[in-house]
Amino acid sequence: MSERRYAGRVALVTGAGSGIGQAVAVQLASEGAVVVGCDVDSDGLDLTTKQIEDDGHHAIMIIADITDQADVDRVVAALPGGRIDLLANVAGIMDHFVPVTELDDALWDRVLAVNLTGPMRLCRAVIPRTRVAGAGSIVNVSSIGGLTGAVAGSAYVASKHGLIGLTRSIANLYADDGIRATAVCPGGVATGIGATAAPTVPWAYQRLERSFGRITRMAQPDEIATLICWLGSDEAVNVNGAVVTSDGGWTS
Ligand SMILES: NC(=O)c1ccc[n+]([C@@H]2O[C@H](COP(=O)([O-])OP(=O)(O)OC[C@H]3O[C@@H](n4cnc5c(N)ncnc54)[C@H](O)[C@@H]3O)[C@@H](O)[C@H]2O)c1
């Protein structure tokens, strides 16, 4: 593995203020990328900037909500020279493990907006640029909740299954343009996502807990970031449309 796989490259990372997105931004910068990161959490972005600058690198961090088209436009407009080599759609939220019968439209709409519509808007914005360049990579962070119904509520599971569908569609339709799209499905990762993970419907959570007994280990954000950075790099040139699980064997 080269340490400077991203030298001269530009990467856009959503959710760069915490957890997996923060780890991706820091790793990409350390490998030579100009990183444009965005998040709704300005304090988190400040921490990411500090980590990157302490390592002697530079990044552009933008406070932006990926559910807002104007914010997405603003982030894409900040890409230096309009260039984009990697889009890492990492931002996401949980759904408090709410089952469909207890789900209100507001929670459904919010989870789908952050986890699926936002990533779609970013893909829609950057693919024309990568088509012109004839190369580019998109890594979408789904979840094992995108492969099974056993780990989250109905909105999260639907959003993460949808993100895998979006990934495969892009992989299929734009391969001839030199664009690769892949999805990563983490299991449990020690991050800040707990803010949207407090269970609110006890009976549903008890049923979901059956699968939690299969968790062998919690991953660290860096471990998922390493996979994302590899998938986005030229080393993964033949990997397109793949859905890669990193769950320590949880779904095995
Ligand atoms: N932590 C896990 O166990 C786990 C497991 C599977 C998948 N994932 C996925 O990994 C991704 C990263 O999550 P994490 O675990 O690092 O959580 P995290 O909460 O630490 O980071 C997610 C970041 O996304 C940001 N964000 C949320 N809504 C946003 C919006 N509308 N616009 C811009 N930024 C927004 C948050 O502010 C936060 O900084 C998510 O897509 C999540 O679904 C996490």
Give the chain's end-to-end CA distance (angstroms, integer): 27
| C-beta of 189 in contact with ligand 1 (< 6 A) | yes
Q: Per residue in 123-135, pLDDT tens?
A: 999 999 999 999 9
Active site residues: 142, 156, 160
CA distance 171 to 127: 11
Tokens encoding 162: 């949808």
Q: Is the CB of 99 under 6 A from ligand 1?
A: no
Tell whether ligand 1 has an atom less than 6 A from the beta carbon of residue 39: yes
Mean pLDDT of all residues in 151-177: 98
In the β-sheet with 136-141, what is the strand arrangement from edge to edge? Answer: 59-63, 34-39, 10-14, 86-89, 136-141, 179-186, 243-246
Ligand 1 centroid to Cα of residue 125, in Å, is 21
Is-contact 190 220, C-beta < 8 A?
yes
For residue 61, the cross-strand partners are: 37
In the chain, where the domains are located: 10-243
CB count in 10 Å sphere of residue 99 = 18
Token digits for 28? 């990409």
Contact 184, 140 (CB under 8 A): yes
- Mean per-residue pLDDT over the chain, rounded: 96
Phi, psi of 157 (to 5 degrees): -60, -45
Task: Tell whether the model's pLDDT for residue 148 goes beyond 90.
Answer: yes
Predicted confidence band at 168 (pLDDT cuts at 50, 70, 90)?
Answer: very high
Tokens representing 107 are 């929670």
What pLDDT score does 195 carry?
86
* 12, 13, 18, best to mutate for ligand 1 pocket (most atoms within 8 Å of CB): 18
Is the pLDDT confidence value at 239 over 90?
Answer: yes
Question: What average pLDDT score do residues 148-165 get?
Answer: 98
Q: How confident is the model at residue 1 (pLDDT cuts 50, 70, 90)?
A: very low
Position 213 pLDDT exceeds 90:
no
Q: What is the pLDDT of residue 143?
A: 98
Given a cut of 90, is residue 212 above it in pLDDT? no
> What is the rounded distance in angstroms from the CA atom of residue 241 to the CA atom of residue 182?
5
| Separation of CA 90 and ligand 1 centre (Å) | 6
Average pLDDT for residues 7-17, to the nearest whole number?
98
User: Which of 221, 210, 199 is closest to 250 using CA atoms?
Assistant: 210
Which amino acid would we find at residue 149?
Answer: G
Please give the number of the atom of ligand 1 that sits closest to the Cα of 41: 37
H helix intervals, the chain: 19-30, 42-54, 69-77, 105-112, 118-133, 154-174, 202-212, 221-232
Span 169-189, average pLDDT = 98
Mutating to test ligand 1, I would choose from 189, 216, 223 the residue with most ligand atoms within 8 A of its C-beta, which is 189
Cα atoms in the 13 Å half-sphere on the side-chain side of 128 = 6
pLDDT one-digit tens code per residue, 65-85:
999 999 999 999 999 999 999
Find the 91 Cα to ligand 1 centroid distance in Å.
4
pLDDT of amino acid 214: 82
CA of 141 to the centre of ligand 1 (A): 9
With 80 as the cut, is the pLDDT of residue 3 above it? Answer: no
Of all atoms in ligand 1, which is nearest to the CA of residue 156? 43
Q: Is the pLDDT of residue 107 over 50?
A: yes
pLDDT at residue 211 greater than cutoff 80: yes
CATH number of 10-243: 3.40.50.720
